[in-house]
Structure 1
Amino acid sequence: MTALAACNLTNPIGSLLDPFVYRITIQQGNIIDQEQVNKLRYGMNKEQVAFVLGTPLAKDAFDTERWEYPYRLSPPKAKPILKKLVILFKEDKLNKVIGDFETDKITTI
Structure 2
Amino acid sequence: MKLRTNLKRTVFALAVTAFCGIAGPALAADALVGDAKAAVGKVSMCIGCHGIEGYKASFPEVYHVPMIAGQHAEYIVTALQEYASGDRTFPTMEAIAQTLSPQDMADIAAYYSSLK
The two structures have a TM-score, normalised by structure 2, of: 0.29
Structure having the larger proportion of residues in strand: 1
State the structure with bigger RCO (CA 8 A, min sep 6), 1 or 2: 2
